[in-house]
Amino acid sequence: MANRNHGLSEKEMELVKFLMADCETTGDIQEKLKRLFAGTIEQMLEAEMDEHLGYEKNSVLGNNSGNSRNGYGKKTISSDYGECEISVPRDRNGEFEPKIIEKRQTRTDEIEQKIMAMYAKGMSQRDIEDTLKEIYGSEISQGLISRITDKILPEVNEWQNRPLSSIYPVVFFDGIVFNSRKDNKIISKCVYSVLGINMEGQKEILGTWISENESASFYASICSDLRNRGVTDIFIACHDNLTGLCDAINAIFPKTKNQLCIVHQIRNSCKFVPYKDRKAVCADLKKIYGAVNLDDAEYAKEEFREKWDKKYPNILKSWDKNWTELTVFFEYPQEIRKIIYTTNAVESYHRMVRKFTKSKAVFPTDDSIRKVIFMSVKEISKKWTMPVRDWGLAYSQFAIFFEDRLAA
């Protein structure tokens, strides 16, 4: 007959048999486990009291010792087994400080860990409250859940201010907007993320910054923060064409090349092109950004001008104005081009953040935004275990084009 003990010891098998006795449903087993849990906690508290007093219960060693037991207090605690009432021993001098369940503690650490895990997965405080009530029968308010999740704020601040690597070959800048409450009004807050590709080719969120308005001074403060945390050089910064961002980057990192996102440029170019012409316009724009080199790109741009400029004059106005920053990628071989021509890396990250925050329509404070973004980063970055594709080839090209700055 097959062994169905599943590797349990004899004592564990005795416990299984005890649980089976008089139990007809899994609910019966759960209730019995709850009583066992409460009883185990009480016995551990008794052992702690013995150690605190220096003698066991009813021992003559306690006579004239200066302190003694003084009955019990009742406490209801929430755990994986639901809510249960336990008896907590007291001493006459009021000096007993239990460790297994501390004074004023009403939840086991496992419950707090589950709250943090549910929060990290993007569940709202109301959903967490309902889930805990449904599964454990625990009445835990949204205010208490907020206070529990506030415990990570020191970790959030430590992460936001952590030292960074000195060199990042590529850094992406992009913003995501959330609704927040201020003075009983709903306002928009921009959370600006900076995603770096480090020297090992790994993606890394360098930090997040919150502002009501995107401005040149806001971008300058982000770049200053990066420098203050140890970044001395960025080879290429990739971003959308936000007013003042190029200047802010170059004020702090004067050697950095700015590459505007080609995908954003195409979207903006086609925004006002009717559907009947859109396919043809996109095909001709592709001849520009898909050219082999800068000369061919300029030739394709002039061809586009001759064909479409009278009908859609605003398209090339934008390309002409931003031509220098749009064509930086032509300076490098294909291995680098495919990394820097679009900000898709940071936009993809923001799409994942949206999945974690979709249940939160309005954030009450900036700290609530910081908490959920930090928890999102922790979850998302778990999947960033490999370098970006073909990083070995790309790095060898970076080593050639930026040899003097890598050696510095």
The answer, yes or no, to whether residue 41 has pLDDT greater than 50, is yes
Q: Which of 353-361's residues contact partners 24+ apart within 8 Å by CB, and which partners?
A: 353/176, 353/380, 354/176, 355/122, 356/120, 356/121, 356/122, 356/380, 357/122, 357/178, 358/122, 359/122, 359/123, 359/124, 359/127, 360/122, 360/124, 360/178, 361/179
Instruction: Please write the tens of the pLDDT for every residue from 341-370.
Output: 999 999 999 999 988 887 777 788 888 888
Q: Which of 9-13, 22-26, 89-93 has the highest mean pLDDT?
A: 89-93
How confident is the model over 228-239, as a mean pLDDT? Answer: 96
pLDDT confidence bin for 155, thresholds 50/70/90: confident
- Whole-model pTM over 0.75: no
Distances, alpha carbon 38 to alpha carbons 83, 113, 272, in Å: 10, 20, 68
Residue 387: is it exposed, middle or buried by C-beta count within 10 angstroms (0-12/13-18/19+)? middle
**How crowded is residue 158: how many other Cβ atoms within 10 Å of its Cβ?**
10
- pLDDT of the residue at 84: 74
pLDDT > 90: what percent of the chain?
47
- DSSP-assigned letters across all residues of 283-351: HHHHHHHT-SSHHHHHHHHHHHHHHHTTT-HHHHHHHHHTHHHHSGGGGS-HHHHHHHS--HHHHHHHH
Instruction: Please write the tens of the pLDDT for every residue from 289-308.
Output: 999 999 999 999 999 999 99
Instruction: Please write the tens of the pLDDT for every residue from 170-187.
Output: 999 999 998 888 878 888
- pLDDT of the residue at 239: 94
pLDDT confidence bin for 1, thresholds 50/70/90: very low
Calculate the average pLDDT of the chain: 84
Instruction: Please write the tens of the pLDDT for every residue from 70-117.
Output: 888 888 777 665 677 878 888 888 888 877 676 766 665 566 666 777
Instruction: Please write the tens of the pLDDT for every residue from 274-293.
Output: 999 999 999 999 999 999 99
